[in-house]
Structure 1
Amino acid sequence: MGDAWPDGADETARLVNLWEQHMSRRFTPRSGLHPSNAIQIWTFAHHAARLSRAVLTLHEAGHDLEAMPLIRQTLECAMNAAWLLVTDSGGAALSAVDTKSRRVMYREVTELGLADLSEILRRVEQEEARDAETVTRTRSFEERCRAVSGGRHIYAMWRTLSLYSHATSSVADVYLETVRESEDAPLGVAMLLNADWDQGATWMRVQALMLLLAQIAADDAQAKPTHRTQLARARRRLGVTWEVRRTQSDPQ
Structure 2
Amino acid sequence: MSIFEAIILGIIQGATEFLPISSSGHLVLLPEIFQMTNPDLTLIGLVHAGTLLAVLIYFRQDLWDIVTAVLRDLSQRQPLASPEARLGWLIVVGSIPVGIVGLLFADFFEEAFGSPRVAAGFLLVTAVLLVLGERMLSGKKEMAAMSWTDAIIVGLFQMMALFPGVSRSGSTIVGGLARGLDRPTAARFSFLLGIPAILGAGLQAILAIFTESAQFSASVYIFSFLAAAVSGYVCIHWLLTWVKNHTLYGFAIYVALLSIGYLIYSAIIG
TM (norm. structure 2) is: 0.28
TM (norm. structure 1) is: 0.29
Give the number of the structure whose residues are more often helix, by fraction: 2
